[in-house]
Structure 1
Amino acid sequence: MHSLTQTQSVTLRSFLGRTFSWMTAGMVMTAIAAWFAVTNEGLFSFVRSNYFMLVLLELGMVFGLGFLINRISAATAGIMFSIYAVLNGLTLSGILLAYHVMGGSGPSPVVSAFITTAGLFGTMAVVGYTTKMDLSRFGTIFFMGVIGLVIASIVNIWIGGSALSMVISVVGVILFCAITAYDMQKLKEMALSGGDGFTQSEMGEKMAVFGALNLYLDFINIFLFLLRLFGGGRSNN
């Protein structure tokens, strides 16, 4: 890859800055929503009673944002992402509480998984930003990997084997680490192909929100798979 011009460097830094700002905001909203849910008995009861409805709403927000990103305004995209982040915090609250309690008096699996996730995510984001390898050729492989992972997870619900669960978790961590690098490279190429003023444009802001959603999903999936590994290992001791 050729060295970047000063204008390209400014555009790239600005776009990625907006993207990671949105991602960080989403993570904060998720954490706050989860905290409110576990500390408010009424809200926690509501989440438990309407869990599947909330999950369906989450999926609707994710797919809706993906399908409508070219038709909606940047403000609407930001609102949809924010709603999704809050809903995700609510639906994750029960899982986070269960694993936190599992930690007992020792280090919480939630904290350990989060710190490890941050390290892995940051490393793979740097790899995706700096690598000269064209990762787009692996897009289909990653997509099929995610489909296979979903199918294996559904099968594991019925089988309930700890060995299979561990394999799924390890594969999930590896797969979404790779997807993080893939998404990061796509965002870099998007910014560079957008031209001057891309970051300040309506489309640039929408793409920053959409890019934040992709990176957010990568981070959350790595975190959840690691949480299963750390929690499972602790439970077996």
Structure 2
Amino acid sequence: MNLKFFLVLQFYRGGKMKYSTVIFDFDYTLADATYGIVSSFNHAFSRLGIPEHDCESIKRTVGLPLDEAFVQLTGHKDEVLINCFKTLFREKADEIMLKNTRLFEDTASTLQRLKYNGIYTGIVTTKYHYRIDETLNLHGISHLVDVIVGGEDVKVPKPSPEGLLLAIGSLNSKMNDVLYIGDSLVDAKTALAANVDFAAVTTGTTNEKEFLQYPCIKVLNNLSELKELIKI
């Protein structure tokens, strides 16, 4: 199907979009944890004697599993080194990530609007499940999210559809009633693999032109635009 057609494709039921379930990625979709992520990467690099990397290079890896991000940034594929990196990253992240994670200004209001309209919500991310729980609890919005699937909850990370399908199954949602929203091509590939609709947000490092390589019903500038897309 033509990708431009996907971009404008909208199905209505009684004047509303068809979705009963909206599932989100986390980093750069619902929140900005740049300082914590970059600091944790460079802490681990420094401890391993690897040169630190600039912020933008690290940001481009957000959404990838840590081992893939490490290989992409350093070129090192040694399993022992990768595991040491992951341990050092997690130790630093446990110390600083929560207090340095900022929800986007329209995150809470978007989730509230979805819940008010009876739409199920979820988060599917490569980030640790417990870290998502901590962040939602800190900001008092855990009751607005029905299901969370984190990196440790799956055998194969995104863009495998495993996590997204797990979330959909736990909500007993029909596949054609689900919209997945994310900020990266990993998210677009995940939705495609799961055979669910995808909407992109450009609050990360991926631009509209890049998203149009994949089926995408809409490219949003921010989450506030979701209310117009699904008519809530």
Normalized per residue, the structure richer in strand is 2
Q: Do Structure 1 and Structure 2 share a fold, with TM-score over 0.5? A: no
- Give the TM-score normalised by the residue count of structure 2: 0.26
Q: Mark the structure with the bigger radius of gyration.
A: 1
Normalized per residue, the structure richer in helix is 1
- Give the TM-score normalised by the residue count of structure 1: 0.25
Higher relative contact order (CA 8 A, sep 6+): 1
